[in-house]
Chains A and B, each alone.
Chain A
Amino acid sequence: MTHKFLAIAVTATIVSGCSTETGETTETEIAQAQGEEANPDRNVYFGDLHIHTKNSFDAYIFNVRTTPDDAYEFGQGGTIKHPLGYDLKLEGPPLDFMAVTDHAAYLGHLEAMNSPDTKLSKLDMAKDMFSTDPEKIMSAFQLIGGAVRDGKKMDGVYDPAIVGNVWKQTVASADKYNQPGKFTTFAAYEYTATRVTRGKDSGFAGGNLHRNVIFRGSAPDMPFATIDSPNPEDLWTWMDDQREAGNDVMSIPHNSNVSDGEMFKLETYDGQPLTKAYADKRMRNEPLVEITQVKGTSETHPSLSPNDEWADFEIYDKLLSSMVTSKTSEGDYIRQAIANGLKLTMEIGADPFHFGFIGSSDTHVAGGSFDEKNFWSKIGIVDGSPEARGSIPPGGKKSWEGVTVDPRAANWFSRWSASGYAAVWAEQNSREAIFDAMRRKETYATTGTRIKLRFFGGFGFDAAMLDDPEMVSKAYKNGVPMGGDLVGNKTPGFIIWAMRDAMSAPLQRVQVIKVWTDGGEAKEKVFDVACSDGGSPDAKFRCPDNGAKVDLSNCSISSDKGAPELKTFWRDPEHKNGQRASYYVRVLENPVCRWSTWDALRAGVSPNPALQKTIQERAWSSPIWYVPTA
């Protein structure tokens, strides 16, 4: 490790512990009072449900000093500081909803260690953590990381009073910024369980079982952290109890791509077979999964989906703070989990992977980096400059020839992504409306673009509906939106409608990804269903190449290729009555420069040859399941 881990000594900030109580008026009422009429056809809202601030043990050591308040200011269009001193600001309009999700385990402890006059600051660990010796810093940091992972209460270090106090401030900050009808915030935190899968090291490495825990309204006095149990099933039990006590809540798993096969494993935490009770409990608590974020995209892997030409997208597969590659063959990727869910439905009568999709950032600098043109990555002083993240050659060199890239940059940072958003279709912008939309999975994920995407399934749908001005309300009335179960015995029809982001690239194609099982074997197929530039899918269900190009000398894109909107009615040409299936939509934009190419362009060097130069930004809808009766 390098001098970059040096933490600047800061004078202690005095944070008041007072909070305001939220009233009992429903937010729907408040939103209406403030002029936002509930729209029965629903509006799309964009948000970020995965944000870390200085209160997270790791963010603090990355020199992050921004607070939950700063995160909400950023989301509303304000400017905040990166730990390296530059300004962070959203490229797009303000976000509609947000949740700050700091690691609950050892919440606020690093700041306490770095404040003079606290008990924690006298510990040897604290002295090492804020010393000038990189090795001491690293080993102290690993101690904390290991304790977070293993759920260990370190004697004389772990102090529930600090967690409770900082959690109270987090909830108060969310309450302060929540404005029904305009801007929604949730009390939330991250449950940071990591399973040791390859033999124990001294630090944080292992299979990622992280989840964000999001409260619909009121929140309890203490979060349930790995300190309480590293087993996510215990978290769900606690969440069930919270719901009983009036604190409605859901958890959203993320980075299954680096779970080493643990996230969607086909057995319980204790190695028992999955049961209906397990599936019901999981679905009660985890209706959604985060499919994309800064640490890569978890939709599928090229080795799992060899016939999907777009599967090799922002793949990141190194276990947390480790150079070990995650086990990709089983349990890491969402498409495979959906197929396993269908199989389990036959076997145990319930589906533990019946989830919808969102994206979020997982930023550790209080502001998400969504824009390829202006990327600041994730972990503060460690990857906050192009050189540190491997997008330009080190030491001011002008060429990549003979250059050795720092292994952390090569294996981790350069593979990270400017991604993503959670999109939600809700009647209005309030905690209740957005949370309820998330519970019914009427959500989709994007890689940081604001594509608008509608997706409905129904038995009575036809192509004539596409031009009907009442199309949306009729689709709601006679079918199900994304995230729904289409139950019946006829042939399902789908209405898909995507519109580009005016400030991103035009659309290239819309696809339906069908997942099903046949004789116990998982199957998947990608159908192009709408093509830009007047094309139509061929016999293999592929659009012709629309010829969209990126000029790598200045990152400009073809101005005459692609579609502003793509809208289609689609029936599964391979539909089989009685065969259970899941369908989700993937929308692809024309290619644009990847962030690493933008970094190189600005520095006047060629892009890192080890990295993809362009990417196709995209959106994924939550699936619609065809559930045959009888």
Chain B
Amino acid sequence: MKIFRDPITQFVLIGLLLVGLNHFWSGWQGEQGRTIVVSAAEIGRLEQIWAGTAGRLPTGEDRQQIIDQYVEEEALVREAERLGLGDGDTIIRRRLAQKMDFLVSDDAKPDDPTDAELKRWFDDHRERFAAPEMRSFTHVYFSPEKHGSRIEADAQTALAKLRSGADWKSLGDPFIQKRSYAALPQREVTRLFGPEFAADLFKLDASNWSEPIGSAYGLHLVRIEAIDSAAQAKFEPIRAEVLAAWQEEQRTEAKREAVEALIGNYKVVVEKSE
């Protein structure tokens, strides 16, 4: 029929068809959208949260309340979505970005490395797993307030006595903290005596009394009592720890790449503010 060849009629008919399709489609979709299923797994999860806050397990009445509340929330959320209330809401945006971030991180999960691969990586990063060196020491203290310009000479005199076997307890000035310390890493010695003293202490040999070394407090003669050297980490005993560190590094790297790739899909225009 000629009338169907008329462009205007065609336009109207196609339009009607689309309206009709849309009607059926949204009707079907509406059916799906209007069923709220409260799964057993969801109930279990909600009950756990409830128990965590209340400090007891929910009773039958509580459970009904939990379910009612879930249904209410679900219905409200769906209506809100229908009205587009989430658009432009900062909290929702942030939460979505966070969720996507989790998704990306999840995707970035690395496969397990082979033993050889992991061993090689461990060799390259050995220092990361070493226990720090610890030193035990005794010190004889000289206070600048007391000795003034004679401090170096007085320390040398005491050193001569120590080297010929005098009792260290009888020499030097009283020290407000300890005179013997056991097994301290350099970081802690730094905090107690200052960085110069700590650096010097960790260069000394474990032998006789040292030459005077300076600290934030004055001069000290030091005897190293024990050195627990930085424990060279061995691969086998800490394999699990190494694997965890390897995975962490891979994940961070993969995630960084993934996020960069995502951003790469966008053209970024930064407008200058006036």
A14–B52 contact, CB under 8 A?
Answer: yes
Please tell me if B258 contacts chain A, counting CB pairs below 8 Å. Answer: no
Counting chain B residues whose Cβ lies within 8 A of the other chain, the interface size class is 35 or more
User: CA of A565 to CA of B89 in the docked complex: distance in angstroms?
Assistant: 59
Within B141-166, the residues touching A (CB, 8 Å) are 143-146, 148
A467-B174, A469-B174, A499-B176 are contacts. A161–B56 as well, Cβ < 8 Å?
Answer: yes
Please tell me if B202 contacts chain A, counting CB pairs below 8 Å. Answer: no
Q: Mark B202-227, 1 if CB is under 8 A from A, else 0.
A: 00000000000001111000000000
Q: How far is the CB of A119 from chain B (nearest CB, A)?
A: 8
Within B42-85, the residues touching A (CB, 8 Å) are 46, 48-56, 65-66, 69-70, 73
Please tell me if A16 contacts chain B, counting CB pairs below 8 Å. Answer: yes
B49–A14 contact, CB under 8 A?
Answer: yes
B144 contact from A9, A117, A564, Cβ within 8 A: A564
Q: Which residue of chain A has the shortest Cβ distance to B189 in the bound complex?
A: A502
Q: Mark A75-107, 1 if CB is under 8 A from B, else 0.
A: 000000000000000001100000000000000
User: CA of A115 to CA of B47 in the docked complex: distance in angstroms?
Assistant: 12
Q: Which residue of chain B has the shortest Cβ distance to A532 in the bound complex?
A: B145
B145–A8 contact, CB under 8 A?
Answer: no
A9–B91 contact, CB under 8 A?
Answer: yes
User: CA of A567 to CA of B191 in the docked complex: distance in angstroms?
Assistant: 22
Please tell me if A111 contacts chain B, counting CB pairs below 8 Å. Answer: yes
A502–B193 contact, CB under 8 A?
Answer: yes
Q: Which residue of chain A has the shortest Cβ distance to B216 in the bound complex?
A: A502
A6-B91, A117-B69, A565-B217 are contacts. A502–B191 as well, Cβ < 8 Å?
Answer: yes
B49–A161 contact, CB under 8 A?
Answer: no
Please tell me if B169 contacts chain A, counting CB pairs below 8 Å. Answer: yes
Q: Mark A480-521, 1 if CB is under 8 A from B, else 0.
A: 000000000000000001111011001000000000000000
User: CA of A6 to CA of B69 in the docked complex: distance in angstroms?
Assistant: 24
Please tell me if A112 contacts chain B, counting CB pairs below 8 Å. Answer: yes
User: CA of A421 to CA of B188 in the docked complex: distance in angstroms?
Assistant: 18
Please tell me if B90 contacts chain A, counting CB pairs below 8 Å. Answer: yes
B174–A116 contact, CB under 8 A?
Answer: no
Q: Which residue of chain A has the shortest Cβ distance to B46 in the bound complex?
A: A117
B52 contact from A12, A116, A469, A565, Cβ within 8 A: A12
A112-B53, A162-B54, A469-B169 are contacts. A563–B145 as well, Cβ < 8 Å?
Answer: yes
Please tell me if A2 contacts chain B, counting CB pairs below 8 Å. Answer: no
User: CA of A454 to CA of B174 in the docked complex: distance in angstroms?
Assistant: 12
A469-B170, A469-B174, A565-B176 are contacts. A132–B56 as well, Cβ < 8 Å?
Answer: no
Q: How far is the CB of B1 from chain A (nearest CB, A)?
A: 60
* In the complex, chain B residues whose CB is within 8 Å of the CB of A564: 143-145, 215-218
User: CA of A566 to CA of B215 in the docked complex: distance in angstroms?
Assistant: 16
Q: How far is the CB of B259 from chain A (nearest CB, A)?
A: 16
Within A365-394, the residues touching B (CB, 8 Å) are none
A500-B217, A502-B192 are contacts. A118–B54 as well, Cβ < 8 Å?
Answer: yes
Please tell me if B32 contacts chain A, counting CB pairs below 8 Å. Answer: no
A502-B215, A565-B145 are contacts. A16–B52 as well, Cβ < 8 Å?
Answer: yes
User: CA of A122 to CA of B65 in the docked complex: distance in angstroms?
Assistant: 11
Counting chain A residues whose Cβ lies within 8 A of the other chain, the interface size class is 35 or more
A454–B54 contact, CB under 8 A?
Answer: no
User: CA of A119 to CA of B69 in the docked complex: distance in angstroms?
Assistant: 9
* In the complex, chain B residues whose CB is within 8 Å of the CB of A92: 191
B69–A161 contact, CB under 8 A?
Answer: no
Q: Mark B74-115, 1 if CB is under 8 A from A, else 0.
A: 000000000000000111001100000000000000000000
Q: How far is the CB of A470 from chain B (nearest CB, A)?
A: 9
Please tell me if A13 contacts chain B, counting CB pairs below 8 Å. Answer: yes
* In the complex, chain A residues whose CB is within 8 Å of the CB of B173: 467
User: CA of A22 to CA of B261 in the docked complex: distance in angstroms?
Assistant: 53
A164 contact from B55, B66, B146, B169, Cβ within 8 A: B55
A118 contact from B50, B56, B70, B193, Cβ within 8 A: B50
Please tell me if B35 contacts chain A, counting CB pairs below 8 Å. Answer: no
* In the complex, chain A residues whose CB is within 8 Å of the CB of B65: 119
A13 contact from B50, B52, B95, B193, Cβ within 8 A: B52
Please tell me if A539 contacts chain B, counting CB pairs below 8 Å. Answer: no
Please tell me if B29 contacts chain A, counting CB pairs below 8 Å. Answer: no
B145 contact from A108, A116, A567, Cβ within 8 A: A567
Give B residues with C-beta under 8 Å from A. 46, 48-56, 65-66, 69-70, 73, 89-91, 94-95, 143-146, 148, 169-170, 173-174, 176-178, 187-188, 190-194, 197, 215-218
- Counting from the closest, the 4 A-B pairs by CB-CB distance are A165-B55, A502-B216, A564-B217, A502-B194
Cross-chain pairs A/B with CB under 8 angstroms, 20 sampled: A6-B91, A14-B48, A14-B52, A15-B53, A93-B191, A93-B192, A117-B66, A117-B69, A118-B54, A161-B55, A165-B53, A165-B55, A454-B176, A467-B173, A469-B169, A500-B216, A500-B217, A503-B194, A564-B218, A567-B145
